[in-house]
Structure 1
Amino acid sequence: MNRNPFEKLMWSIALPGLGQFLNGKQFKGTALLILEFLINVQANFNQVIILSFHGEIVDAIKHADYQWLMFYPCLYFFSIWDAVKDAGGGKDIYSFLPYVFAAFFVTVGLIFSSSLTIFGVLLGPVWLPILFVFPGIIIGFIIKKIINNTS
């Protein structure tokens, strides 16, 4: 079996559950894929993505079911972390922290996505959460480094 953690990371970014299938974890991959499909459909996420890409942010906000969409960041980043871990990556005990903080920050970005503007631009439920990935990962790595240095 190919144990390339980067490959599993990339496939999990493409679609939650694919990294698990590549790791030979069929049950876990199927569960994550079903959850992804359920949340995606219930949240109208594909429609929200299409509207966002067309710059129709207000319509994207109107079509988003935030009650369902709030589940997506945790599912997404857990799927990525789990696939990397099962492929032999993330051997450090705190390797999960960048993924956890990314999920947290994306969720916060999603919460504020219907009203928060950056330089007067409303980014909506796709673009603002994507921007929040970066500070989440950075803070996760900083906290991981601090913990590792004090342990």
Structure 2
Amino acid sequence: MRVIAGLFSTLMPGFGQIYNRQFLKGIIFTFTEYFINMAGHINSAIHLDFNGHHAQAVDATDFGYMLFYPGFYAYAVWDAWYYAKPGADKVRTAIPYLIGGFAGECCAIFANRLPFPTLMAGLAMLVPIYAGMLIHRKEGQTVPDPSGPPSARP
């Protein structure tokens, strides 16, 4: 199912690809996510930010890597969702994921100017991503013919 692949990739980029049996791509995405996360100190920043230490979270983050993360994350979720079932319009279904990645980038860029937890605001990128999953959930699915199978028609 498409949604399951998208949700797996939401939890950890690469897991949706593995669910889709794209093992090499899934392993590459998982290691890329791990590398970006460790090099950018993203988990440390999330921990500090969620515990009310906003300034320390901004200081702990390496924004050279952090700025790459939202776009990669949104692409990994879209890729898992799109390739879970053939037949979706590649361009139209990518728009909510692009909006989500852009929202995450804006939160990362303006991190030191936001008065509220930055990485929590970065989760706002999930709203358009999940909206895209919901809006395009039936895209590419075949609709059964109401008159029945071709052999049953007069």
TM-score (normalizing by structure 2): 0.78
Note closer, same or farther for the CA distance 1:20–1:137 as it changes in structure 2 (3 Å cut).
Answer: closer
Which one-letter code corresponds to 2:69 in the other structure?
A: Y
Equivalent in the alignment of 1:96:
94
Q: Distance in 2 between matches of 1:111 and 1:89?
A: 35
Equivalent in the alignment of 1:116:
114
Taking only aligned residues, the RMSD between alpha carbons, in angstroms, comes to: 2.3
Asked if 1:54 corresponds to 2:51, the answer is yes
Unaligned runs of 5+ in 2: 137-154
1:129 to 122, 126, 138: 122
Which string of whole-angstrom CA distances, capped at 9 and with x for unpartnered residues, describes residues 96-133 of structure 1? Answer: 1100111012101110011123xxxx322x11222355
| Contact 2:58–2:112 (Cα < 8 Å) also in 1 | yes
Q: Distance in 2 between matches of 1:60 and 1:114?
A: 9
**Taking every aligned residue pair, what percent have the same amino acid on both sides?**
27
Q: Distance in 1 between matches of 2:103 and 2:79?
A: 19
Q: Distance in 2 between matches of 1:40 and 1:138?
A: 22
Which one-letter code corresponds to 1:32 in the other structure?
A: F
Which one-letter code corresponds to 1:20 in the other structure?
A: Q
* Mapping of residues 10-49 of structure 1, within 5 Å: 10-49=7-46
Q: Distance in 1 between matches of 2:69 and 2:63?
A: 10
Note closer, same or farther for the CA distance 1:114–1:139 as it changes in structure 2 (3 Å cut).
Answer: farther
Equivalent in the alignment of 2:142:
none
Higher-Rg structure is: 2
Q: Distance in 1 between matches of 2:13 and 2:103?
A: 19
| Contact 1:101–1:140 (Cα < 8 Å) also in 2 | no
Note closer, same or farther for the CA distance 1:87–1:71 as it changes in structure 2 (3 Å cut).
Answer: same
Asked if 1:65 corresponds to 2:62, the answer is yes
SS of the counterpart of 1:96? helix
Note closer, same or farther for the CA distance 1:116–1:65 as it changes in structure 2 (3 Å cut).
Answer: same
